[in-house]
Structure 1
Amino acid sequence: MRGWWRANVGGLPGTYWYLWSGMLINRVGGFGVLFLSLYLVNERGLGASGAGLIVGLAGIGGAAGSLAGGVLADRWGRRRTLLTGHLLLAASMAALAFTPWLPAIAVLTCLIGVFQSMAGPAMVAAIIDVVPVADRQRAFNLQFWAFNLGMAAASLLAGLLAEIGFALLFSLDAVATLLAFLVLAIKVPETLTHRDGPAPADRSGLGTALRDRSFMTFVGLTLLVATVFTQASTILPLAMKDDGLSGSAYGVVTAFAGALIVVGQLFVPALIGGREKGRVLACAAAFLGLGFSIIALADGLAVYLVAAFVWTIGSMLAAPPNAEVIAELSPAALRARYQAVFYIVFPLAAFISPALGGFGLEHLGNGNWIICGMIGVAAALGHLGAGRSRERLVRARRDAEKDSSGVPAAVQG
């Protein structure tokens, strides 16, 4: 046990653990958006399509927030970006708890997306700043583990709180976000060291990332997968409601998925080690599509749990190679900008998924989940096609960097 602790947990800097703790607190309390679609249907009388459109506004705001967070994290600082995003998110969530007017709810939903997404690129950049290169894989694995531990706890709490009232649900989300803000404000220093402004290449960083064909192909395939996966937090509660299941049943499904990741994620690197990342990502997309297509057969909690088991295998397989591909394709000087572009995938999926999923559920019924399965297959085929060319590009870039350093590639590799 002591050896496992040293290999997986020990030796990471104190600042990393405060960043980790702030994220965990925020995730445990991050149950507001999980049940926003149910709130709009049950409390505000909207249909699935209308609720999906409003929840999707968080995705539009999130796309802007991701870009802003990446740029601000490099120019303004990691600490300021994290604190600003958390404080404004807490205020927006508190306002949502006591706002009855639908247009105001729509605006607040969009703002929640902006402020929630600001933190992602800044958090990743801060971790890279403080964690030595040799420990980063371990640090990010623990971050992903904590994220899902928090989501599992949030899902269980949200199911119980939704039975009491949505105002309490949103208010406690705001309180948790404020607690995370306090941890970061008190314990996390500024980790950005180059205060003399960005290098000239940095000023065109977003454009460089957007023009990187291999990177943007990877981003596009990730968007397909994320659009399917986001159905779990936006449309799945409505499907379970149609089958006569309560909000607490949805909490059980999402908590089960999170618990699987908490138990199994640390074993994934050994399972996929040495395999081509394109093939692993293709396998992950196929599992994800299969899991969501199983929902078409669901009429009770047991089948929903089976579906969650299958799609969670896909999400666990995808996490390590996703992080590796971004690291390999990102120039060191533009890492935060590449992270910002990659993070756009998730708010975009948060807009596309409920908007199309709400329409699909309302008008196609179980056909919505068959379409999700087809998207997963398409993403799997895309990863198989793009993976090998991406690997060749990465090897060519490494060889060029070795040659430019003046040390023969054969000596270095």
Structure 2
Amino acid sequence: MHLHYKFIAFGLFMRLLSKISSFYSIFTNAPLATSVALSLFFLVGFADGVLMPFFAMWAEKDAGVTAEYIGLLLACYSAGELLATPFVGGIADRLGRRPVLLISTLGVGLGFALLYFVHGVFASAIVLISIGVFESVLHPTISAVIADSIPADQNRYYFSVARVMSNAGHVAGPAVGSLLALYSLGAVFLGSAVATLLGALIIFFCLPETLIKKDINGDEEEDESLSGILPAFRDARLSGLLMWSMCLQISSGWLTSVLPLYAVDAGTLTPSQVGLLFTYAATLTVLFQLWVSRVLASVANLWMVIGSGAVLIAAFAALLFSSGIVGLVLGVSLLSLSQMLFGPLLPTLIMSLAPSHARATYLAAASVTADLKDTLGPAAGTFLYGISARLPWFVGMPVALCATLALAFTIRRHERRAASAISSALPE
């Protein structure tokens, strides 16, 4: 049995080496702007991975924050994003991708560095809110750069690569953070700052402007170029897509927020082993996301959504019937597969709806729903867990089923309208 595990580890290592060589070819064949954007996804994921596992310990031991306020302090980070995005989320459609990304990465990086020096709840909260404000435009604008610089039919593939790069950062980040924490818990913020400021340097020296401004007559130009995301939510197609995708992602978020409690309370895993379990899940994405995307490249968006929902329901079922190690590993494996199917699909669908001059605005609207998901998901999941340990999995199955069917119907209706519009435009 021990030898069997060695063979599995060796196989995963060899696959990781092959991925490194394939990433090199992807970067060399992609447009420069796309390569820069993919690098930024890695650095942002790395910066997040360096600090997040150690945030609670730093807050309690170094920043002088009492245990009951740690959760609220961390919420300031997402609160800054959630508050700022409705007002500045689409500003990259007005000012350009390059200046917005440069200001955003500088603001986030300097904010992380400042956290090394601050103490106390109030000062830390102000810095975290500021970081959230600067970060509110970061992910939507990076994704907009990718959409600007590649053909539309390659969106799903390159958004898959972006997920791989982000997850690779989340795998590498905690390892570096562990080394920095040996010196000082606050040093993890300096590690995150260095990674983010390195991204700012890459943007300054390497990123070309990808926004092509088009002339629009009259007041419509000013209205649709607003830095806020209101113009995007006027699109009923986007609103329906985001609403049902948020419901699906809220239910999937219960796995990440509740599973640690479920595993530890059942006596199956220790807290450190839970961390290893989620590292394993992120590694699965790094190793298999591109393979899954290539195999399913010709599968219609509708069936990708249905497949993602079905796999997520299977993950809930695995955890419902077993809190043992087999059920936990199977649950997070199925969750990873579900996210491999749906993760690259959502920005692809959004880009199919967005006008070329409003890509960042539409992606920022999706970012708002992601922030709401990150806020509502853990709260609802832990509330259900407080009633019964298996209730989140039991409730998650019908919620995921309803959200999947509604999202599939929304996509089907949009694709029919698009096909009808194309056929009516063709000459008879």
Same-fold call, TM cutoff 0.5: yes
Query: What does the per-residue CA deviation read over 1:3-38, in whole Å, with 9 as the maximum and x for residues that have no partner?
Result: 988996653212321222232123223222354356
Unmatched tracts of structure 2, length 5 or more? 1-17
**Aligned counterpart in structure 1 of residue 95 of structure 2, from 67, 70, 76:** 76
Secondary structure of 2:29's partner?
Answer: coil
8 Å Cα contact 1:82/1:123 also seen in 2:
yes
Mapped pair 1:224 → 2:247: yes
Instruction: Tell me the equivalent position of 1:265.
Output: 289
In the alignment, the residues of structure 2 paired with residue 372 and residue 170 of structure 1 have an alpha-carbon distance, to the nearest angstrom, of 35
User: 1-side partners of 2:150 and 2:229: how far apart?
Assistant: 24
Counterpart mapping for 1:307-326 below 5 A = 307-326=331-350
Alignment pair present for 1:174 and 2:196: no
Tell me how far 1:74 sits from its aligned partner. 0.7
Question: CA separation of 1:291/1:134 partners in 2, compared to 1, >3 Å: closer, same or farther?
Answer: closer
Question: Alpha-carbon deviation of 1:236?
Answer: 5.4
Distance 1:310 1:102 in 2: 38
Give the Å deviation of 1:185.
Answer: 1.5
> Quick check: 1:115 aligned with 2:134?
yes
Is the CA contact 2:80–2:132 (under 8 Å) kept in the aligned structure 1? Answer: yes
1:212 aligns with 2:231: no
Superposition RMSD in Å: 3.6
Q: Aligned partner of 1:173: which letter?
A: S
Cα deviation digits, residues 345-381 of structure 1 (max 9, x gap): 22222222344455556x44625xx325523531332
Equivalent position of 1:27 in the other structure? 45
1:198-347 equivalences under 5 Å are: 199-200=221-222, 202-203=224-225, 206-230=229-253, 248-288=272-312, 290-291=314-315, 304-347=328-371
Unaligned runs of 5+ in 1: none
Residues 164, 7 of structure 1: alpha-carbon distance in 2 compared, 3 angstrom cutoff: closer
CA drift of 1:231 comes to 5.1
**Deviation digits for residues 28-62 of structure 1 (CA, Å, limit 9, x no counterpart):** 23222354356557774424xx5444333333222
Separation (CA, whole Å) in 1 of partners of 2:319 and 2:181: 23
Q: Structure 2-normalised TM-score?
A: 0.79
Distance 1:111 1:141, change over 3 A: same
Report the AA paired with residue 47 of structure 2.
G
> Separation in 2 of the partners of 1:233 and 1:172?
25
2:91 is paired with a residue whose SS is: helix
Amino acid at match of 1:166: L
Q: CA deviation at 1:300?
A: 7.2
**Change in CA separation of 1:212 and 1:379 when aligned onto 2, cut-off 3 Å:** farther
C-alpha separation between the residues in 2 aligned to 1:39 and 1:202? 43
Cα gap change, 1:234 to 1:92, in 2 (>3 Å): farther
Q: Which residue of 1 aligns with 2:372?
A: 348
State the Cα deviation string for residues 266-314 of structure 1 (Å, max 9, x = none): 2223554554534432432343355367567787766543332121111
Give the Å deviation of 1:73: 0.5
What percent identity do the matched residue pairs reach?
23
The 2-side partners of 1:163 and 1:233 are apart by 27
Count of paired positions: 401
> How far has the Cα of 1:341 moved from its partner?
0.6
Counterparts in 2 of 1:59 and 1:212: CA distance versus 1, 3 Å: same
